[in-house]
Amino acid sequence: MSLRQEVNASVVSMKNSKPSKKFKIDKWIPYLFILPSTLMIVTFLFYPIGTVFYYSVQNYDVSAPFYNGFAGLDNFIKIFTQDKLFLPSLMTSFKWVISQVGLQLIFGLAFALLLNQKFRFRGAVRAAAFIPWAISGVLASVMWSLMYNEHMGVFNDLLMRLGLISESKAWLADSSTAFAAVVIAELWRGIPFFAITLLASLQSIPEELYEAARVDGAGRWKSFIFVTLPQLKNTIVLTTLLRVIWEFNNVDLLFNLTGGGPAHSTTTLTMYIAEQAVHGSNFGYGSALTVIAFGILLVFAAVYLRITRFERED
């Protein structure tokens, strides 16, 4: 082979090798783009979760540092055998979640159906309906505490004018009414969540389905049962799951309105965790309670998605 032929062969081989190197570089470019978000997720999500699991098997009490150290399963054993407030707070959490999610779903669906109709000033009414969702939990707590106030609250004044009560009541200080009072306050704030998501899903339902139902002789109720609800299934499943997790971990409204009282009648598991970890400075015990709450939600989410057959065709 001549020198010229050797040079040409080397040039050809170099040209053929460049695309492979470029291909290898291009292969890693997508991972470089998602690297910042991945680092943020690990830093602000997985690391705190790992820290909670770590402290759950530790004795870590700021007020008694001389007892700090590895505890094994002692925190969990104490929760299930000696803690007299764990089961009541867990039952209160279940009652809170069931009442909130159930009522918010019913009223949210009703509002979504109403707001999906065509009427004058529909845009303004929609904007006004979503205002409670935009208000912070602290501000909502202040508003409702003033409305429930025994001496100047609007609820007492309204009920007395209607003749339903004869004297003012301290709604948030009475163990027989405190839970219902905070349920109403959170219900007002949570309905727009379902209304927004269900309204968006309603607008995506093809009008041809309703026309076909009317041709088959279906009225409004049958169209709702056999057309609207099946089309809303995945949205309802997802929103209820998200809302269950949110309400189970909800603490701002309860903390600001009742602080878990009176007589622990509004103390949910999350409130009890805050009481142990934040106020009691027993972070090890609070972390163990958090791990149990995490396990409950994880099992519920898996079973719920399995039962409801999320994103599966029936």
Instruction: Encode pLDDT of 177-235 as tens digits.
Output: 899 999 999 999 999 999 999 998 998 888 888 888 888 888 888 888 888 888 898 89
Q: pLDDT digit string (tens) for 20-72?
A: 555 566 777 788 888 888 888 888 888 888 998 998 998 888 777 777 888 88
Same domain, 121 and 248: yes
Same domain, 204 and 289: yes
Q: Which pTM was predicted?
A: 0.83
* Domain membership flag for residue 67: no
> 250: closest CA among 309, 293, 301?
293
For residue 34, the number of C-alpha atoms closer than 13 Å in the C-beta half-sphere is: 7
* Domain membership flag for residue 106: yes
Distance CA 75, CA 286 (A): 9
CA angle (188, 191, 192) in 5-degree steps? 110
Distance CA 32, CA 29 (A): 5
Higher pLDDT, 92 or 125: 92
Return the structure tokens found at 305: 């998605």
CATH of the domain at 223: 1.10.3720.10
Q: pLDDT digit string (tens) for 125-151?
A: 888 888 888 888 888 888 999 999 888
Same domain, 90 and 209: yes
Last residue of a domain, one of 40, 55, 70: 55
Torsion angles phi and psi, residue 2, rounded to 5? -75, 165
> 260: closest CA among 151, 146, 173?
173
Q: Assign 7 a pLDDT band (cuts: 50, 70, 90).
A: very low
191 contact partners, CB below 8 Å, separation of at least 6 = 104, 107, 108, 111, 132
Q: How far is CA 116 from CA 3, 112, 124, 139, in A?
A: 80, 6, 13, 29
How many domains, in total, are found in the chain? 2
What is the domain range of residue 232? 81-308
Average pLDDT across the chain, whole number:
85
Same domain, 36 and 135: no
